[in-house]
């Protein structure tokens, strides 16, 4: 009698472990980004952005060509309608990058971290407004509590948290547009960076090359590394989304603003007042509600299948 072999669960387990390592790697990397931009504090934010765009375009173009997708890339550039879409997403992404670099260099990492804590809740709100996604009671309560946390900052310090909200809404809007278009992530980012790369190159030419080659070896190395440190965490993120449940990735993503928060308070000694504690506590409570709801929804869906 022939023995019937059952598939070994080992490959699936190995894939999940690789996905977990990739998720931890990319979100940790993004969480430690302030260290990189702090080291470039003596270089203007626009110049750092220009190097980041150019470097990313070169790395992504190399990846696309290595994957033999050159024809698909040319097709993207020959489609006026898609190019118009890419111009909009490029504007959102580049403005998000620029504001984040500037905020870190200006010692406002705490505000940046708050923006990325708020981002998942902004995604929920944008989904309701533009995709017709309904909010259940816990999701609505989470959004209202987060809004209350922002209001605490406004009333307590008398300053509107424009950095946090601009970062959250610019990245949330970028994600919304990319989701609706359904373009492949790597291809889309390659087109976006290539569209703005000529402007970045022109800026550096007008600036006479800027800090590159005029300050010291460390500055040169950091500027030349701008492309790889932008693209490689993204590739790890894409691998994680392929190997892990999206709910798992969604929970691990809070590692990024948490590391930024810890760097701001413990390493760079940014002011953290009682008002900040009250506001962040509201945001954290909102995220806890949102995460619990997302996790329960995922488990219910899994059981139904």
pLDDT tens-digit profile of 75-84? Answer: 999 999 889 9
Identify the burial level of 92 via C-beta atoms within 10 angstroms of its C-beta, where 0-12 means exposed, 13-18 middle and 19 or more buried.
buried
- On whether residue 1 sits in a domain, the answer given is no
Number of domains in the chain: 1
Q: Is 255 a domain residue?
A: yes
273 belongs to a structural domain: yes
Tell me if 125 is assigned to some domain. yes
Please, what is the average pLDDT of the chain? Answer: 87
Average pLDDT over residues 272-289: 91
Structural domain of residue 219, as residue ranges?
34-304
Q: Which stretch of 114-118, 121-125, 229-233 has the lowest confidence by average pLDDT?
A: 121-125
- In this structure, what DSSP letter does residue 263 have? I
Residue 13: predicted pLDDT: 62
Q: Is residue 82 part of a domain?
A: yes
The H-assigned helical ranges of the chain are 10-31, 33-39, 45-66, 70-77, 80-105, 109-130, 137-157, 162-181, 185-206, 217-224, 226-243, 246-252, 255-262, 274-304
pTM for the model stands at 0.87
Residue 183 maps to a domain: yes
Is 263 part of any domain? yes
Mean pLDDT, range 153-162, rounded to an integer: 87
């Amino acid at each position: 009698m022939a023995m019937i072999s059952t598939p070994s669960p080992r490959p699936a387990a190995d894939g999940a472990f690789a996905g977990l390592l990739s998720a931890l790697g990319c979100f940790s990397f993004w969480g430690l980004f302030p260290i990189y931009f702090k080291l470039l504090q003596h270089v203007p934010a626009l110049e750092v952005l220009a190097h980041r765009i150019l470097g990313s375009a070169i790395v992504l173009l190399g990846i696309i060509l290595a994957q033999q997708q050159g024809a698909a890339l040319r097709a993207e550039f020959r489609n006026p309608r898609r190019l118009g879409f890419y111009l909009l997403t490029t504007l959102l992404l580049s403005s998000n990058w620029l504001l984040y670099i500037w905020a870190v260099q200006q010692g406002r990492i705490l505000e940046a971290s708050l923006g990325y804590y708020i981002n998942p809740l902004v995604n929920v709100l944008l989904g309701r407004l533009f995709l017709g996604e309904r909010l259940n009671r816990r999701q609505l309560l989470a959004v209202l509590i987060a809004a209350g946390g922002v209001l605490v900052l406004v009333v307590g310090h008398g300053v509107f948290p424009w950095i946090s909200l601009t970062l959250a809404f610019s990245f949330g809007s970028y994600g919304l547009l990319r989701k609706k278009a359904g373009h492949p992530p790597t291809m889309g980012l390659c087109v976006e960076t290539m569209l703005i790369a000529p402007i970045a190159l022109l800026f550096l030419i007008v600036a006479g090359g800027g800090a590159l080659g005029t300050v010291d070896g460390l500055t040169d190395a950091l500027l030349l590394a701008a492309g790889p440190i932008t693209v490689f965490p993204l590739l790890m993120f894409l691998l994680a989304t392929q190997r892990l449940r999206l709910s798992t990735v969604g929970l691990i993503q809070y590692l990024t603003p948490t590391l930024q928060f810890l760097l701001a308070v413990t390493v760079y000694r940014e002011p953290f007042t009682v008002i900040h504690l009250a506001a962040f506590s509201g945001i954290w409570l909102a995220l806890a509600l949102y995460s619990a709801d997302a996790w329960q929804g995922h488990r219910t869906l899994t059981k139904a299948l």
